[in-house]
Structure 1
Amino acid sequence: MNVTLFIFLMVYLAMGLGKLPGFKVDRTGAAMIGAMAMMAVGSIGAKAAWVAVDYRTIGMLFGLMVVSGAFAESGFYEWAARKVATLSVGPIALLAVFVVVSGFLSALLTNDVVVVAMTPLLVSVTLARRLNPVPFLLAFCFAANTGSAGTLIGSPQNMIAAQELGISFTGFLSVAGIPALLSLPVVWGIVAWMYRGKFTLKDSEIPQNISTKQPVAMPLNIHETCKAAIITVAVIIAFVLDFWPKELVSLTAAAILLLNRKISSQDVLHRVDANLLLLISGLFIVNAALSNTGLPQNILYHLHKGGVDLNDPISLFFTSATLSNIIGNNPTVMLLVPFLNPGTHANAMGAALALGTGFFSNLIIFGSLAGIIVVEQAALCGVKISFKTFTRVGAPVSIICMLMATGWISFLMRNY
């Protein structure tokens, strides 16, 4: 048991730090090494390890990544970014459009893919308009995190929570959709207020090493965009009707989009985040191995005796929110859901996980993958967003959204 616990702690230390101390091993590498180490020392058998990997979650996530990748390859994301950024409106109104578009796209498509595809172009078009890109990128990132919390397909952690707790698409939307929607004006209002008078740049304020020339855009393929949109609508309808397993719906949609005469399947698959799929698979095995020791169950028992009950949605909400900023959104949900007993509060617990990890993840850069992507992509474009800058705006956004979500979850407990 000591060896199993040591491996588990090393894996989650890497989740928190972003790498394994002393080694060039990132989160995905740590998860895979941990899974193999658990099998090597006998903490879990090879067959049990395969069984531990939830094929339903992996299948659904992979399929939806392909759907989102099809939009990227059709040029839709670049087209949407340019349309938004070139609107003839003032900075405050443009910020509102950024927030709405980010929240809407992230709720319907995998938020991380949306952020990866659109961040570089948003930097170039804001600079071309002599606008300070930082508030727009922050608002875009924050809205992606909070908006994606509203639907089952908005983020990987939502998919994992819904799959493990047995929550339907409509059930998830009914308990998480409203607070996610209300979070968008909160994001817009706080960013607009904190950057009042700082939206525009003078020519002298634009660093010389940053080009304001807009890059050549990928042309919009209307036919492929419409095809991806039709498939997406069909997926959502199938999820709502719930007559077929979600992973089969997602994989069927992926297969249809990959069978293409104009866009290479290799290009679409290039948009799939294989590292995330491997990370999740590795964590399934690591968590199952620790569960075999009985230690997590024992800890939960003593926590319950001490007054901390993770099956209480409010306790789960704050626990998941805190952990998400330590080890990340996906690892947090994967760590918690195997030990939950949802009963009659499954939907409320799903909302607690989605809103806790989604809303509080705006506190620090490393609280979400979207935050890391935006900051790193912006840096590659020559725009620096420091830890202090991110948290100065992200903290009030997170706190207000968390207070709103606390009231909402309390309402759910009284009325569901």
Structure 2
Amino acid sequence: MTVVAIAVFAIAYTLIASERVHKTTAALCGAGVVIAAGIVDSDDVFYSHETGIDWNVIYLLLGMMIIVGVLRQTGVFEWAAIWAAKRAKGSALRVMILLVLITATGSGFLDNVTTVLLVAPVTMLVCERLEVPPQPFLIAEVLASNIGGAGTLIGDPPNIIIGSRGGLTFNDFVANMTPIVLIELVVFTLVLPRLFRGSFTVDPERAADIMQLNEREAIRDPKLLIKCGVVLLCVFAGFFGHSYFEVEPALVALLGAGALVLISGLPQHDYLSAVEWETLLFFAGLFVMIGALVKTGVIRRLAEYATHLTGGDALVATMLILVVSAVLSGVIDNIPYVATMSPLVAQLVESIDHESKGHALWWALALGADLGGNLTAVGASANVVMLGIARRSDYPISFWEFTRKGVVVTAITVIVAAPYLWLRYFAFS
């Protein structure tokens, strides 16, 4: 069964990477094979937290996609596009930097997938106004969302798992993760001109036309915009206080979507057209295949092998966890990886007498998993969502187009993170 699970995942991943078969088809076929082979059953697929479909992710995406669909009818995205282009004075590079910083900041306070869903429509409209290809901007934003999401407990789902396992609070994440994330963002911003060289040429006349536009005229339905604003404030409040209210973010998003559909009075087509059904089905198939790897013990054995290489040295363990997490999280979704790895990290932390050095292992796991999500197009949920949006908007981004940029950014950010961990938790501890 183990061999079959590995083979199915490897074949499906190869097909996704080669783009010879649509990623949703490959994922669903792979899921069908592991189910037909008896590796996972209906309980594993639909009800298990360890091996099944992560319904929180699916329904969070569905709810936010519906909210974005309603919000799109107000014209607020056109308003934001014109506002951003004017503030950047028509410079494509300054637009990219502005949108990257907005995305990274938003990802620290919201789930990075939610941030991507909100920023992507604005980005495509800005690029249409400036007549530049939006693909580099979309890639830059999703890379920034994974970096920015690492900064807080609620910014990226793996952080929530780590916080729960390690007994780490929101303030712990702010104190330990936010400083390195700010450094990473500065470095990432400096790299943008070279990473996306040739993507910033704008016709001067086009830039001048942008400066003459009045963004207020873009708002088509002010009353609906007010309703959306009220619902979004409630949704964001629910995200921030979900642990206090004991309501999962996915339920908050679905309740917000339902309320907005009810009070907007829009026809179904207007809000359902924004739902990326192919993306949701891709996630379902991917979760099932990864669940087969989890159930057969493949991921656990890989994680155990990595931890055994440390030899009890806290610094070696920290650096190994950082690098291995970055690599594996780029190949498989970082949520199941962290869920599998966190118990092993907890055991290692208990074996280390020095509290600060022990906690360094948690921060290495968080940084490796979050930053490693940038490695490939399927390394993080936000990547898959962004590629789905781009494809449906007729601006397709290939697996390798994304991954070529992602590998560079992941390597740079991990290299920056390593000395931070050493200096803060070992050199001066």
TM-score (norm 1): 0.71
Structure-2 change in CA distance of 1:282 and 1:53 (3 Å): farther
Q: Which residue of 1 aligns with 2:36?
A: 40
Q: Which residue of 2 aligns with 1:209?
A: none
Provide the C-alpha distance between the structure 2 equivalents of 1:322 and 1:175, rounded to a whole number of angstroms: 22
Provide the C-alpha distance between the structure 1 equivalents of 2:375 and 2:422, rounded to a whole number of angstroms: 23
Provide, for residues 70-103 of structure 1, a one-character-per-residue CA deviation record: whole Å limited to 9, x for no partner: 1453134443222111226373654432222222
Find the residue that maps to 2:274 and give its secondary structure: coil
Matched, 1:114 2:151: no
Question: Alpha-carbon deviation of 1:264?
Answer: 4.7
Which residues in structure 2 correspond to 1:15-94 (within 5 Å)? Answer: 15-18=13-16, 24=21, 26=23, 28-53=24-49, 57-59=54-56, 62-63=59-60, 65-67=62-64, 69-75=66-72, 76-87=76-87, 89=89, 91=91, 93-94=94-95
**Residue pair 2:120, 2:389 contacting (<8 A) in 1 also:** no
**Residue pair 2:54, 2:287 contacting (<8 A) in 1 also:** no
Question: Alpha-carbon deviation of 1:340?
Answer: 3.3
Provide the C-alpha distance between the structure 2 equivalents of 1:355 and 1:84, rounded to a whole number of angstroms: 30
**Residue pair 1:63, 1:254 contacting (<8 A) in 2 also:** no
Structure-2 change in CA distance of 1:296 and 1:236 (3 Å): closer
Provide the C-alpha distance between the structure 1 equivalents of 2:180 and 2:27, rounded to a whole number of angstroms: 33
Output the amino acid matched with 1:228: V
Q: Which residue of 2 aligns with 1:405?
A: 417
Structure-2 change in CA distance of 1:274 and 1:78 (3 Å): same
**Residue pair 2:65, 2:117 contacting (<8 A) in 1 also:** yes
Provide the C-alpha distance between the structure 1 equivalents of 2:277 and 2:53, rounded to a whole number of angstroms: 16
**Residue pair 2:326, 2:373 contacting (<8 A) in 1 also:** yes
Q: Which residue, 224, 228, 237 being the options, matches 1:225?
A: 228
**Residue pair 1:175, 1:347 contacting (<8 A) in 2 also:** no
Output the amino acid matched with 1:227: V
Identical positions, percent: 23
Q: Which residue, 242, 251, 256 being the options, matches 1:239?
A: 242
**Residue pair 1:149, 1:355 contacting (<8 A) in 2 also:** yes
Output the amino acid matched with 1:334: P
Output the amino acid matched with 1:38: V
Q: Which residue of 2 aligns with 1:181?
A: 182
Provide the C-alpha distance between the structure 2 equivalents of 1:193 and 1:245, rounded to a whole number of angstroms: 40
Structure-2 change in CA distance of 1:314 and 1:377 (3 Å): same
Provide, for residues 213-238 of structure 1, a one-character-per-residue CA deviation record: whole Å limited to 9, x for no partner: 9xx96736421331233123311331
Output the amino acid matched with 1:400: I
Provide the C-alpha distance between the structure 2 equivalents of 1:241 and 1:136, rounded to a whole number of angstroms: 36
Which residues in structure 2 correspond to 1:283-322 (within 5 Å)? Answer: 283-307=286-310, 312-322=317-327
Gaps of 5+ in 1: 207-212
Compare 272-281 and 101-110 and name the one that shifted more: 272-281
Provide the C-alpha distance between the structure 1 equivalents of 2:399 and 2:300, rounded to a whole number of angstroms: 40
Output the amino acid matched with 2:36: A
Find the residue that maps to 2:39 and give its secondary structure: coil
Structure-2 change in CA distance of 1:176 and 1:9 (3 Å): farther
Question: Alpha-carbon deviation of 1:288?
Answer: 4.1
Compare 78-87 and 270-279 and name the one that shifted more: 270-279
Which residues in structure 2 correspond to 1:302-381 (within 5 Å)? Answer: 302-307=305-310, 312-325=317-330, 327=331, 330=333, 332-341=334-343, 342-343=345-346, 351-362=363-374, 373=386, 377=390
Output the amino acid matched with 1:178: P
Find the residue that maps to 2:87 and give its secondary structure: coil
Which residues in structure 2 correspond to 1:95-134 (within 5 Å)? Answer: 95-107=96-108, 108-109=110-111, 110-114=114-118, 116-127=120-131
| Number of positions where the alignment pairs a residue of Structure 1 with one of Structure 2 | 397
Q: Which residue of 2 aligns with 1:260?
A: 263
**Residue pair 1:56, 1:163 contacting (<8 A) in 2 also:** no
Provide the C-alpha distance between the structure 1 equivalents of 2:388 and 2:288, rounded to a whole number of angstroms: 31
Output the amino acid matched with 2:368: G
Provide the C-alpha distance between the structure 1 equivalents of 2:154 and 2:107, rounded to a whole number of angstroms: 9
For the aligned residues, what is the CA RMSD?
A: 4.9
Output the amino acid matched with 1:9: A
Provide the C-alpha distance between the structure 1 equivalents of 2:389 and 2:57, rounded to a whole number of angstroms: 27
Q: Which residue of 1 aligns with 2:352?
A: none
Question: Alpha-carbon deviation of 1:124?
Answer: 1.1
Provide the C-alpha distance between the structure 2 equivalents of 1:374 and 1:21, rounded to a whole number of angstroms: 13
Q: Which residue of 2 aligns with 1:210?
A: none
Provide the C-alpha distance between the structure 2 equivalents of 1:29 and 1:406, rounded to a whole number of angstroms: 38
Provide the C-alpha distance between the structure 2 equivalents of 1:60 and 1:86, rounded to a whole number of angstroms: 35
Compare 65-74 and 160-169 and name the one that shifted more: 160-169
Q: Which residue, 2, 12, 15 being the options, matches 1:14?
A: 12
**Residue pair 1:57, 1:163 contacting (<8 A) in 2 also:** no
Provide the C-alpha distance between the structure 1 equivalents of 2:53 and 2:168, rounded to a whole number of angstroms: 13
Provide the C-alpha distance between the structure 2 equivalents of 1:187 and 1:276, rounded to a whole number of angstroms: 27
Provide the C-alpha distance between the structure 2 equivalents of 1:29 and 1:149, rounded to a whole number of angstroms: 31
Provide the C-alpha distance between the structure 1 equivalents of 2:3 and 2:117, rounded to a whole number of angstroms: 34
Structure-2 change in CA distance of 1:164 and 1:50 (3 Å): farther
Question: Alpha-carbon deviation of 1:121?
Answer: 1.2
Gaps of 5+ in 2: 208-212, 350-357
Structure-2 change in CA distance of 1:303 and 1:385 (3 Å): closer
**Residue pair 2:143, 2:406 contacting (<8 A) in 1 also:** yes
